Amino acid sequence: MDKTTIEKNLNNVLTETDFKSLGEKKVGKVRDSYLGEDNIILITTDRQSAFDRILAAIPFKGQVLNQTSAWWFEHTKEIIPNFVLDVPDPNIVVGKKCQVFPFEVVVRGYLTGSTETSVWVNYQKGVRDFCGHKLPDNMVKNQRFNRPLVTPTTKFEKHDRNIGRNDILVEQLATVAEWELISEKALALFAYGQKVAQEHGLILVDTKYEFGRDQKGNILLIDEIHTPDSSRYWLTETYSQRIQAGKEPDNIDKEFLRLWFKENCDPYHDAELPQAPKELVAELSSRYIKLYEMITGQAFQVDDRPIMDRMEANLRNKGYLV
């Protein structure tokens, strides 16, 4: 998509919602959730978060994330059932209400990352037992593991904590049977994701999955899958030559916007942040759309109507609003 369309929609962004009749509202970094009796309605906004705050609103971001997830949910339902009941709008998914397991299942295919819970940061500190996995010496950053690692982190805690299979069982976060099923399905999802990504010129580097139990006790895949927010993607074409040259792999992500804020303010402590330059906002929107098209092989569809008007109309047509 050319950036002219994006620039025309710089102000047509979704930053908050207010659908009181949908159920109890909970606001996350990116999604607004409405809890009904039997379902949960997730609305993916255009909010761009980092440094524990909102940096900007990125046109079409919410649509990209929601439709990317919907595409992957449809293509992986034979691996494991998921919570999706309906996708009534490009920004909305209606899912089965589940009891969420209190951990995220991070699957890592490469030695990389920059956060305190990442495998590369820990490896640099000398950690060789990572979430129960023995790592060899003399590995280099961005090197591929012989096989993907399942590395859970806690959820619902103030700070994420790396844990392993034994921690999950000792802390009774899941039963043995539940964990065996979850870890097996996470690896199967990641293998399929890597295969599809490779076919489309991408490397699925790492990702996170979330699981829940429905009212019958069935384990379902929930939340999102293989989106640009939950996953790291590199470009296949230049990976080998850049690694051999000691350079970082080519990627399509939001790091450049985070760097702009770090260079122009103190994003952790300043009471007010400067407004992100329009050209950077448009560039990030373009990258999200490009990744959607590369992953799905489909052209991104633009609807220029005001997003709230469109969502309300679609929710009414499907009977979620009266």
pLDDT at 262: 87
- Of 194, 211, 244, which closes a domain? 244
In a domain, 312, yes or no: yes
Domain total in the chain: 2
Q: Would you tell me how many other CB atoms lie within 10 Å of the CB of residue 175?
A: 11
Domain range holding 155? 99-244
Distance CA 249, CA 207 (A): 17
pLDDT at 257: 87
In a domain, 322, yes or no: no
pLDDT at 322: 82
- Of 244, 269, 284, which closes a domain? 244
Residues of the chain falling short of pLDDT 70? none
Which pTM was predicted?
A: 0.93
At CA 305, angle to CA 303 and CA 306, rounded to 5? 125
Q: Provide CB contacts within 8 A for 152, sequence distance 6+.
A: 103, 104, 105, 106, 131, 162, 163, 164, 167, 168
The residue type found at 322 is V
pLDDT at 258: 82
48 and 145 in a single domain? The answer is: no
- In order of 13, 224, 287, 297, the CA distances from 293 in angstroms are 20, 17, 10, 5
Q: What is the pLDDT of residues 173-215, one digit of tens each?
A: 999 999 999 999 999 999 999 999 999 999 999 999 999 999 9
pLDDT at 2: 78
85 and 135 in a single domain? The answer is: no
For residue 311, the domain's CATH number is 3.30.200.20
239 and 206 in a single domain? The answer is: yes
In a domain, 36, yes or no: yes
284 and 215 in a single domain? The answer is: no
123 and 206 in a single domain? The answer is: yes
Q: What is the pLDDT of residues 81-131, one digit of tens each?
A: 999 999 999 999 999 999 999 999 999 999 998 888 899 999 999 999 999
pLDDT at 63: 97
Distance CA 255, CA 264 (A): 14
80 and 164 in a single domain? The answer is: no
